[in-house]
């Protein structure tokens, strides 16, 4: 069973529909037992890290997510689900996150010719091979909508990089059973669908 984490965020149904497009069924759930029993977990969403962590806290799902990741089963974080795997975020005046990866989430700075949020299609430069990238060419474009970006301390977790406004940031991270993408795979056309399909066929091993 593929579980899509419901923590009072938007954009959950679009992930479910994208998976259906590639012949995969997923359940949107906030039930701890269903999440623990799932074969893989997707943490999507739009909005702010602070509200995401608040949603997890109010629904008593923080430990559920941590325990799931510790189980070794595949985890995919999309956009906010990518950011919360780090220790903290600059957003909302400072937010403590899940702390699965060392590092923080930083904000883009608006400047002449640089609009915030970063919105639209942009390239992802692959830094190494990984099963979730099978069939996706180097430099493929994905769809972004975000004002903040992941800044992990360990460069070894970086799987793909993107440049915006003079900032080169990790747009795709992976370590052990965790994959996290800053872009919206569910809105990224054929390559986004391919990444989702690859994730759902992946055994969670690097």
User: Which residues have a catalytic role annotated?
Assistant: 79, 184, 186
Element (H, E) at 51: helix 49-58
The alpha carbon of residue 85 and the mean position of all alpha carbons in its chain are separated, in whole angstroms, by: 8
Element (H, E) at 123: strand 118-123
Q: Please count the residues of the chain.
A: 206
Six token digits for residue 204: 């969670």
Per DSSP bridges, beta strands 95-96 and 141-146 are unpaired
**CA neighbours closer than 13 Å in the CB half-sphere of residue 58:** 10
Distance CA 43, CA 79 (A): 9
Cβ neighbors of 159 (< 8 A, separation 6 or more) are 126, 127, 128, 130, 133, 170, 172, 173, 174, 179
């Amino acid at each position: 069973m593929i579980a899509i984490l419901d923590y009072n965020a938007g954009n959950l149904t679009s992930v479910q529909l994208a998976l259906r497009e590639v012949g995969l069924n997923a359940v949107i759930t906030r039930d701890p037992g269903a999440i623990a029993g799932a074969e893989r977990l997707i943490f999507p969403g739009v909005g702010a890290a602070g509200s995401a962590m608040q949603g997890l806290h109010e629904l008593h799902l923080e430990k559920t997510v941590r325990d799931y990741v510790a189980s070794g089963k595949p985890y995919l974080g999309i956009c906010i689900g990518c950011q919360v795997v780090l220790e903290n975020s600059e957003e909302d005046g400072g937010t403590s996150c899940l702390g699965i990866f060392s590092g923080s989430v930083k904000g883009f700075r608006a400047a002449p010719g640089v609009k915030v949020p970063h919105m639209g299609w942009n390239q992802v430069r692959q830094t190494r091979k990984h099963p979730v990238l099978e069939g996706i060419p180097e430099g493929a474009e994905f769809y972004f909508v975000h004002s903040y970006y992941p800044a992990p301390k360990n460069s070894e977790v970086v799987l793909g990089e993107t440049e915006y406004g003079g900032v080169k940031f990790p747009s795709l991270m992976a370590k052990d059973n965790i994959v996290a993408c800053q872009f919206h795979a569910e809105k990224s056309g054929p390559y986004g669908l391919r990444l989702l399909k690859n994730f759902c066929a992946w055994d969670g091993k690097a």
